Chain A
Amino acid sequence: MKGIEMKTKNLVHLELRDLILLGIIIAMKVILAQFSFGPAMVKVGLGFIGSVMLGYIFGPIWGSVGGGISDLVSSAIFGNQGGFFIGFTLTAMVGPLIYGLFFYNKEVKIWRIIAATILVTVIVNIGMNTLWLHLLYGVDFKVALIQRLPKETIIPWIQMVITYFVLQAISRVKMYK
């Protein structure tokens, strides 16, 4: 198991082994995204854990590629709930990109988790996804925001707690370092 090396110099080139691992982690993200937990009012989907893992293990570049592929794969298997739209694929790419910038090859720190989660929430969930709703369905931007804000002010905090435990757990698996 030793020798799977993912140093910064390998940011662009990936070995076959790592490509396969990327594929499997994407599969994991697709499965996790099907699960959610919490009371009915604020269901927290677990897909973000997949994004965190992609960013943490593969870095911003391959992480975001993986995020994009995960969107394609989940639409192929489960059907894309919002319809096939390139915007949602872009959204799926930006999450792991941000997580990658904050977590890849870095020590797990609480401020990093807080900053990354807030950035993802603001840019991806509030910004981009609202924009797509506006563009795709013609929903008023303000209306789409009103609909999303309550959920997006609660969920990030839950995500931070989960991200912390996930990163703690994953970083203990040192095999790929």
Chain B
Amino acid sequence: MSKILIGRYIPGDSLIYKMDPRGKLLATIFFILIIFLANNWITYGILIIFSLAAVYATKLRPKVFWDGIKPLIWLIFFTSLLQLFFTSGGTTYWKWSIFTISSYGITNAIYIFIRFTLIILISTVMTLTTMPLEIANAMEWLLTPLKYLRVPVDKIALVMSIALRFVPTLFDETVKIMNAQRSRGADFNDGGLIKRAKAIAPLLVPLFIESLETAVELSTAMEARGYRGSEGRSRYRILRWSKYDLICLGYFVILVGLLLVFRTR
């Protein structure tokens, strides 16, 4: 099992960093929504320019974005290729049993390729410029309306922040347990299917027991410090809207306007 990177946040101080995480999260979600408006070359061109501008505004090296796309590039490529071979319509250039290459297929494949890349690019902008804790806070804020549906949003927020907090700890713990088991002959990367499936148990059980103990200890500690449920508590970490969020919103208004004007009906 290879090393994993905890958190993809890269410190910086460009404009996007100064935006409120809620603004960034909403912008990301909104971008994914308005990508549906694009349906011809001009509109896709506008979206590409807009996302490249967002990438540029982060002032980060292009390589970090490439690293975000790299693990998925074959999947994107393969999907586009399948789309190319299995879509018919327009002028047909080549045909062999169920495979066809048509003008409709070509444009469709390219559109899908662009869509994939843009969505990943914009999501990457979000995760690179915002700390995980801030993203989680923004998500919590976004869940608030669910309160009216009697969803225990406070509890969900608590669970979320505990999970967030324990990912690095538990990861270290996993590595430690694996090394301990390895030092007495466990092999996690060898043997047949059944053998490997069995090898997961000596990893999971100690981890699970560890988790149970942590849960008991942490709940005792929280109750000792006066935690009596999520309601009626104040907040230490407060998110604040900035003027950059307003500017971002302005860009989106222009973007949606342009898309609506140039899209084919």
Contacts and interface: CB of A to CB of B under 8 A. Distances in A.
B160 A162 contact: no
B218 interface: yes
A19 interface: yes
B29 A84 contact: yes
Contacts of B135: 75-76
Q: Chain B's interface: helix, strand, loop or mixed, by majority? A: helix
Contact of B164 (A77, A166, A175): A77
Contacts of B200: 46, 49, 162, 165-166
B163 A173 contact: no
Given A138-B115, A165-B197, A166-B200, A73 B222 contact: no
A66 interface: yes
Interface string A112-145: 0000000000000000000001001111101110
Contacts, number: 205
A161 interface: yes
Contact of B212 (A21, A37, A77): A21
Contacts of B1: 35, 37
A46 B1 CA distance: 11
Given A18-B215, A79-B123, 17 more contacts: A1-B213, A4-B216, A17-B216, A20-B218, A24-B214, A27-B164, A27-B167, A30-B163, A30-B167, A70-B163, A72-B139, A76-B164, A79-B128, A136-B119, A137-B112, A137-B119, A164-B197
Give 8 nearest A-B pairs by CB, closest first.
A23-B162, A79-B127, A83-B119, A21-B215, A169-B201, A76-B135, A27-B166, A26-B163
Interface of A: 1, 4, 14-28, 30-31, 34-35, 37-38, 46, 49, 53, 65-66, 69-70, 72-73, 75-85, 133, 136-140, 142-144, 146-147, 158, 161-162, 164-166, 168-170, 172-173, 175-176
